Amino acid sequence: MGTIALFSDVHGNIDALQRVLDDIESVGAERIICLGDLASYNADQHTCMELLRSRDIEWIAGNHDLIAAGLLAPLACSPYTLYSSTQARKRLKPEWRKYIRTLPLMIVEEKFCAFHGSPDKVDEYLSREERLRKAVRIISERGLPPLAFFGHTHLTKATRIQEDGRLIPLGDGEIELQDDGVLLVNVGTVGEPRGKVKWASYVLYDPDAGKVTFRRVEFDHETSWQRSIEHKWRRKHSNGFSGLYDRFRRKAGRLRHRLFPRTADDSSLDALKQRMDA
């Protein structure tokens, strides 16, 4: 098995995607896997989707892809995310709605597994310790490989939970694989970095060398941001009556999920698979 490049959360940013793919080509990766979320936020979701398909890049469905395709409700999103995901749903071409229905929600192979959010839910954030431990429990119960790649949080981070229960943060450099416990690798984001981070990120997995390496790629973050605003893919702020309405929808969505956790908006992988196959 040769080197595999894994990235996530492109979010319609064609400049960042092209730069990452160029970097992947320069290091000679033999296989490329996208862990989801080509839709929303930036101005070129269709171009990004076409590029992946034209290059036969494997693509796991992310929560924003599923929202855009009408397979998942955006009601529990933040006002900022709600606006962009609504635009993505309105603008997604019918052919891509059909195509997203065919995407896998998880890839499982002998040495690794990959998903967008968590092994349980497409929109679950594996950021807190209790959720990381829950993910490890699910991986163990389902007999999944003890090396898992995911995205969704837009933050690069590797964490090992050893068989004795110890949780060991490993950062985002070069990680040596071990036989002890489960290694959880968040590959970060290509097109939508948060906070002070202004670069794209992805990982290289070399099973022969037994290591995972994080890579960073520079792109023109400011130009991508301004284009998304000009093309009305995002708003700078959510305020006034529009902001109040957005916040009301968000709170209503969260209340609905608490009262009716198994509705048609269920984000569990099993429920989503049933809707995608319907």
For residue 50, give every residue at least 6 positions away whose Cβ sits within 8 Å of its Cβ, in sequence order, or none: none
Q: Are 88 and 44 in contact (CB under 8 A)?
A: no
Both tokens assigned to 260: 């009716």
Domains: count for the chain: 1
Question: What CATH number is given to the structural domain containing 219?
Answer: 3.60.21.10
Q: Are 187 and 151 in contact (CB under 8 A)?
A: yes
Domain span at residue 227? 4-277
State yes or no: pLDDT of 260 exceeds 50: no
Q: pLDDT tens for residues 97-136? A: 999 999 999 999 999 999 999 999 999 999 999 999 999 9
Q: pLDDT tens for residues 132-179? A: 999 999 999 999 999 999 999 999 999 999 999 999 999 999 999 999
User: Which ranges constitute the DSSP H helices of the chain?
Assistant: 14-27, 45-54, 63-68, 79-91, 94-101, 129-141, 221-230, 240-259, 269-277
Q: How many Å is the Cα radius of gyration of the chain?
A: 18
